[in-house]
Structure 1
Amino acid sequence: MNKKIVIIGLGLTGISCVNFFLKKGLIPSIIDENDNLKLIKKIPSYIPYHLGSLKENWILNADLIILSPGISVFHPLLLKAKKKGIEIIGDIELFSRYNKTPVIAITGTNGKSTVVNMVSQIMKKNNFNIGIGGNIGYPVLDLLSYTRDFYILEISSFQLETIKKFKIYIALIINISQDHMDRYPLGIKQYRDIKLRIYKNASFCIYNTDNKLCYPKIFYKKKKYITFGTFIGKYKLSFCKKNTYLEVDNKKILNFNNTKLNGIHNYLNFLAVLAITDILKIPKKISLQEINNYKNMDHILQIIHKENGITWINDSKSTNINSTIAALKYLYKKKKIWLLLGGYDKNCELNLLIKYLKNKNNIHIYCFGISSKKILSLYNKSIKVQTMFEALKKIIKLVKYGDTVLLSPACSSIDQFKNFKHRGNEFIKLVKKLHKK
C-alpha cells in the first residue's frame, strides 16, 4: 500500500492517527495551521510536516486525507480536493473500518457527556467491559488496542461531517438546537443534516419527540426506532401534583423528585439513558438505582459555594443558547439571578436567548468576552465588563440573601480560556478568592 496519506490537524486526534498508521507500517505527512513547534515533539522526527497553513500541493496530491474535527470539511481547499476525487475521512470513519466491537454512539447539542457518563456507569455496574472515547477526550483509534464488549462514543457534529459507513449498534440524538453556526453557513438545516448522519448505519435509532429536528428523515423497516420525550414516547415524563415521574409504556417507574437530578433537561437525558440500557437488557433495578443516585457532573449546574443565603453556580458547560435557557428554567423560582454571559457566540442567534430574558425582572446580566458588545446591543440593561473577574467583583457587592449567581455563558470559552473546564475552574477560584476577603 503506497498511498499518500495526509493528516490535517495535530491535536490528540491527529497524534492518534499518526500512531495508527505507523503501527500499520505507513508513514503519513502532517499539516497543521498552528505554527507551534511544540506539537512536533510528539511525533517521530522522520515524519514530513508543514506548519502554519494548509499546504495546497500536499492536499491536492494526496490519496487519502484524514481530517481532525477542528478543521471544517467545507474549507475551500478541501472542497477542491473532494472534487478531484480524493477521499476525505476523519478518525471516526477510519476507526469504523477496523472495528469489530458493537458501538453505542451518542450525539446532540446538549447533554452528550452526561448521557455517556451515566450509560457507562450503569454498564459497568452490570459487568460490561467497555471503552469510552470520541469527543469526550479519548481518541477512538486508541480504543482498538483493547478488547471490549462495547464502545460508548460521544460524537460531535464536526466528527459526523466525515463519516461514510460508520456502523453503529445504538445511535442516539438527544436534542438539536442552534450551535456552531460559524461552521455551518447554511444554518440550522445544515447542522441538523450532519447530526442525522448518525442514524445512517445504526441498528437502533433513539430520538427525542420534543424536538422535531431529531426525527429521522426516512424510516427504514430494518431499523428499530425508539422514542423519548416530555409527553410523547415509549419513555416519557408524567406530572402529578408536584411530582415528576419517569414512565415506560405508560407505567410510572421512578419519581424524579426523590433523585439528586436538577431540571427537566436532565430528566429527558435519563429517559434516553434508560432507552439504551433497556436495549442492552440491563435489569431496570440496576439502571434506576444508578439514576436515583446520580449527581450532576462538574461544570453543569454545579453549586460551588453557599454563604449568607446566596448560592453560586458553575454552569460553564453551557456553551450555547439552549443550554443556558435550560439552566434559567431550572432556577426560575429564584428570587434574583445574577447571570454571567459571554465568550465566543459561534454566530448563533443570541436574540433567541435575550427574547427569553426580557420578560424576567429578576435576572441581571453581566456580559464579557467577544460577544459582550452583541449582548449589550440586544439587551441594553446588560452591564458590559472586560472579564469574568470584573463582573464578580461588582456582583459580590450587590447580592443579597436568597440571590443566585450563575455562570451560564451561552457561548464557547475560546476567546479568553482554553476550554469550558478552564473557564469553570477559574470561576470557582475567583469565587473562593472573593469570599476569603
Structure 2
Amino acid sequence: MDHWHNIDNVVVVGLGITGLSVVNYLQKYQPQVTVRVIDTRETPPGIERLDQSIAIHTGSWQLEWLLEADLVVTNPGIALATAEIQRVLDANIPVVGDVELFAWHVNKPVIAITGSNGKSTVTDLTGVLANASGIKTAVGGNIGVPALDLLEEEADLYVLELSSFQLETTYNLSLVAGAFLNLSEDHMDRYTGMDGYRLAKQRIFQHATTGVYNADEPVTYPDITLENTLSFGLRQSADYTLANYDDEPYLFAQGLPILPASHLSLVGMHNTANVLTVFALLDAANVDYQDSLETLKSYTGLTHRCQLVADNHGISWVNDSKATNVASTEAALSGLHLNGTLYLLVGGVGKGADFSPLAAHFAALPLKLCCFGRDGKQFLDLHPSAEYFDSIEHIIQSIRPQLKPGDMVMLSPACASFDQFKSFMHRGDVFTALAKHYA
C-alpha cells in the first residue's frame, strides 16, 4: 500500500533528535514532498543540524502551515489534546508520529515492547541475544536511536521500545511480537486517568501476530483477540516462568528448563521477569537463543538500571539510579535474595510522592537504610535502621568498614536527582565511581 499517494505537504512538529530523524528520512526517501518544521521553542535542540533549505517556524505555533498540510508528523512529547493539533484533526488532516512512518517503510520483522517499568532492559536484551544468535538486529525507538534512523542499518530484525505517547500516533505497525510488561501510575499530567494510559499501551497489540503479556498483571492482557498469545509471570501460572528443577529455581520457557536463575548477572526478581519476556519475544520471532545463553549470563543490564557495577570480596554494588519513583524501587526490592545485609541508598527530590508503600519491602529485608538528599528525611520513619547523611559519598565512607561478604550496596533512590546532581545519569556515575574506588 502506498501511504504517500496524494501527500505533497508535510509539516513536522517538534525538532530535537526525533524531528531531525523525520526530516532526514523524508529528504532521503520522499524527496517529492515539501517539508516544513514548527517548534514552539525559540531555539529548539538540533536546529543547527537542520538542512538550510527546510523552512522552520520557531517560538510559537504556525496554524496556517498546519492547516495547509496533507500530513502532520508530531513529536511524542506533544499531546494530541493540544488545541492546535485538535484543529488539524478537526480538518481531517492525518496526524502521525515517526514510528508510523517507520511502519509504512519497514519490510522486515519487528518486535516492540511497552510498559511502565523495565521496557528499556527488555528491549536492549532482546537485541543483544538476537544479535548473539546470529540475527542482524537493530534496536531503538524510545531507547537511543530514533526508529527511522534504524532503517539505515539494513537489519533482518528490528526491536523497538515504544512509549504510550509514541503508540498514540501509530496506526499500522505490524509486529511479529508485541509485549505489554506492566502498568503503574505515571504521566498522569497527560492522561485523565489510569484507563487512558492503559488504553494507549494496549495499542501495541493492534497489528501483532503474537501478544506477550504479564500473567501477574491482568491489565496487560490483550483487549483484542490475537492469533497467538504468550504469558510470562512469577506468581501466576504462565508460559514463561520460574520453577524448581534440580533443587534450584530455573527459568522455564513453555515447559522447558532453560537456565538456573542463579546464573544470571542481572539483579532482582523484576529482571528475572524481564529475561522471561525476552525468551517469549524471541520464540515468537523464531530466534533460537540457545547458543546465546553465555551472553545472557554475562549481561549486567543497562547503565543505571539495577546494574551490577562492582563485585569484590563477595560484596556487590548495584547502580539503580534510574529508579526515580516509588514503583521502580519497589521493583528492585521485590523478591531480592541476599546472604548478607542490604545497604540501600534512598533520597533526592520526592516529587510529592508517598513513600510509605516501601515500608513493607524494607521490613522484609535484612536492611540498613541510608537516606540522603532534599527529601531523604521523609524515609527516616519507614525503617528502624534509617539514618540521614548529607551526601552519597558520606554514606559510602561511613558504611565501608562494616561491609562483609554477602552484603549488597544498592542505590535505588525512589526520587529524582536534581537537588544534588545534573541528572539521574550523573547520580549513577558518581555512585559507580565511588563503588569502584571503595570496592
Query: What interval of TM-score do these two structures reach, taking the shorter chain for normalisation?
Result: 0.7 to 0.9
**What percentage of aligned pairs have identical amino acids?**
34
Equivalent in the alignment of 1:228: 232
Of the candidates 199, 210, 214, which is equivalent to residue 193 of structure 1?
Answer: 199
Contact kept in structure 2, 1:314 and 1:428, CA below 8 Å: yes
Tell me if 1:89 matches 2:96.
yes
CA distance in 1: counterparts of 2:188 and 2:296, whole angstroms: 33
1:100-120: CA deviation from partner (whole Å, max 9, x where unpaired): 222111122222222222222
1:189-220: CA deviation from partner (whole Å, max 9, x where unpaired): 22211111000111111111011121112324
1:99-151: CA deviation from partner (whole Å, max 9, x where unpaired): 22221111222222222222223322332222222112111112233432211
How many Å apart are 1:50 and its aligned residue?
Answer: 2.7
> For 2:140, what is the secondary structure of its paired residue?
strand
- RMSD after superposition: 3.4
Q: 1:286 to 1:306 in 2, by over 3 A?
A: closer
- AA aligned to 2:304 is H
Name the TM-score, length of structure 2 as normaliser. 0.83
- AA aligned to 2:214 is N
CA distance in 2: counterparts of 1:416 and 1:398, whole angstroms: 19
How many Å apart are 1:167 and its aligned residue?
Answer: 1.4
Name the TM-score, length of structure 1 as normaliser. 0.84
How many Å apart are 1:337 and its aligned residue?
Answer: 2.5
1:153-198: CA deviation from partner (whole Å, max 9, x where unpaired): 1112221121112211111122222233333232x22221111100
How many Å apart are 1:427 and its aligned residue?
Answer: 3.2
Of the candidates 264, 272, 275, which is equivalent to residue 269 of structure 2?
Answer: 264
Equivalent in the alignment of 2:57: 50
- AA aligned to 1:286 is D
- AA aligned to 1:84 is A
Of the candidates 13, 17, 27, which is equivalent to residue 18 of structure 2?
Answer: 13
Equivalent in the alignment of 1:63: 70
Contact kept in structure 2, 1:228 and 1:236, CA below 8 Å: yes
Q: 1:226 to 1:430 in 2, by over 3 A?
A: same
Equivalent in the alignment of 2:224: 218
Q: 1:294 to 1:37 in 2, by over 3 A?
A: closer
Structure 1 segment 314-329 matched on structure 2, within 5 A:
314-329=319-334
The farther-off stretch of 156-165 and 76-85 is: 76-85
CA distance in 1: counterparts of 2:418 and 2:84, whole angstroms: 25
CA distance in 2: counterparts of 1:203 and 1:218, whole angstroms: 12
CA distance in 1: counterparts of 2:251 and 2:45, whole angstroms: 50
Equivalent in the alignment of 1:204: 210
Structure 1 segment 87-166 matched on structure 2, within 5 A:
87-166=94-173
1:222-243: CA deviation from partner (whole Å, max 9, x where unpaired): x111111114112111146972
> For 1:29, what is the secondary structure of its paired residue?
strand
> For 1:225, what is the secondary structure of its paired residue?
strand
Of the candidates 322, 335, 345, which is equivalent to residue 339 of structure 1?
Answer: 345
Equivalent in the alignment of 1:250: 255
CA distance in 1: counterparts of 2:311 and 2:109, whole angstroms: 44
Gaps of 5+ in 2: 1-5
CA distance in 1: counterparts of 2:383 and 2:238, whole angstroms: 41
Q: 1:357 to 1:22 in 2, by over 3 A?
A: same
Q: 1:414 to 1:103 in 2, by over 3 A?
A: farther
Of the candidates 398, 408, 411, which is equivalent to residue 407 of structure 1?
Answer: 411
CA distance in 1: counterparts of 2:212 and 2:239, whole angstroms: 10
Q: 1:3 to 1:333 in 2, by over 3 A?
A: farther
CA distance in 2: counterparts of 1:50 and 1:355, whole angstroms: 52
1:317-362: CA deviation from partner (whole Å, max 9, x where unpaired): 22333321122232676535242233474x7665544564477783
CA distance in 2: counterparts of 1:305 and 1:415, whole angstroms: 26
1:291-313: CA deviation from partner (whole Å, max 9, x where unpaired): 33433332222344578987543
How many Å apart are 1:2 and its aligned residue?
Answer: 6.2
Q: 1:271 to 1:336 in 2, by over 3 A?
A: closer
> For 2:102, what is the secondary structure of its paired residue?
helix
